[in-house]
Amino acid sequence: AAGVIQSPRHLIKEKRETATLKCYPIPRHDTVYWYQQGPGQDPQFLISFYEKMQSDKGSIPDRFSAQQFSDYHSELNMSSLELGDSALYFCASSSNVQPFPLHFGNGTRLTVT
Amino acid sequence: GENVEQHPSTLSVQEGDSAVIKCTYSDSASNYFPWYKQELGKGPQLIIDIRSNVGEKKDQRIAVTLNKTAKHFSLHITETQPEDSAVYFCAASNGNAGGTSYGKLTFGQGTILTVHP
C-alpha cells in the first residue's frame, strides 16, 4: 500500500540558511500534519492542514511556515536555521473518516551545522 | 494543555513473556489514544488505538485498556518476539476540539522495549 512520502530523507544546512521539506500524503488523504522529533525525544506537533487550509498550530517557531497545495502535498519552509532546529521532521496524513488515524512518513533528518 | 506521562522508559523481557507499558494523561477532554511503534530510522507506525467510549480493544497479541476515571491507559503485548523490539509511544488527543484535532497528538516520552531471544 502507498505510504506517506517525504523528501529529502537527509538534509544538511548551515546556520542562518533556509530549508524546504516536502510531504506527499497517502492518496485520497486530505489532511496533513507536521511533527518535530529531537534526539531521544517524543514527536512534537507543529502544524496541520485540512483541504489546503491551515487547521491547527502547535509549537511552531515564527521562522517556520508551511502550506498545503492543490494536489494535497505539503511543504515546510524553515528560515534562519539554528543549531537547535536539528531534528527529525515527520509528516503524517489522514483521511476525514473517523477516528482519523495518522499515518507517518519516514521523516527528514535535518542537521544544522 | 495536555500532558502525557509514560512508564517505564526502558523495558527488557524474554521472548514469549508479556510486556506492559502504562500512560497517564492530564486533560479529561482527551478522547483518542493511539499507540505507535517506532523503529530506528523510521516514522512512528500505528499499532492500535482506542477511543474514550471503549474500555478495551484487542488485536491479536496486542491489547489496550483505558480507564477514563483514572486518566490511565495501557498497552499489553503478549508472547513477545524479538521483532517487537522498538520504541513505543502512547499519545492522546481531543477529537472534539474540531478540525484536525484528532491528529494534534501529545505523545508520551517513549518506552524502549527490548525482547531477548
Residue B96 has phi, psi (to 5 degrees) of: -80, -5
d(CA A63, CA B51): 35
Q: Best residue in B54, B100, B101 to probe A by mutation, most A CBs within 10 Å?
A: B100
Give residue-wise pLDDT tens across range A13-72.
999 999 999 999 999 899 999 999 999 999 999 999 998 999 899 989 999 999 999 999
Nearest to B103 among A44, A94, A105 (CB): A94
d(CA A26, CA A35): 17
Note whether B51 contacts A: Cβ–Cβ < 8 A.
yes
User: Does position A99 have pLDDT exceeding 70, yes or no?
Assistant: no
pLDDT of residue B61: 97
Average pLDDT of the segment spanning B50-67:
93
pLDDT of residue B41: 87
User: Does position A100 have pLDDT exceeding 80, yes or no?
Assistant: no
Q: Which residue in A has a C-alpha nearest to residue B105's C-alpha?
A: A45
pLDDT of residue B97: 74
Q: How far is B111 from chain A (nearest CA, A)?
A: 10
How far is CA B104 from each of CA A55, B58, B68, B115, rounded to the nearest angstrom?
Answer: 10, 24, 19, 31
Note whether B87 contacts A: Cβ–Cβ < 8 A.
no
Is-cis flag, bond preceding A61, omega within 30?
no
Nearest to B100 among A42, A56, A101 (CB): A56
Nearest to A101 among B34, B106, B109 (CB): B34
pLDDT of residue B86: 98
Q: Kind and range of the H or E element at B62? A: strand B62-67
Torsion of CA A86, A58, B1, A32, to 10 degrees: -110
User: Does position A98 have pLDDT exceeding 70, yes or no?
Assistant: no
Average pLDDT of the segment spanning B51-64:
93
Give residue-wise pLDDT tens across range B7-55.
999 999 999 999 999 999 999 999 999 999 999 989 999 999 999 888 9
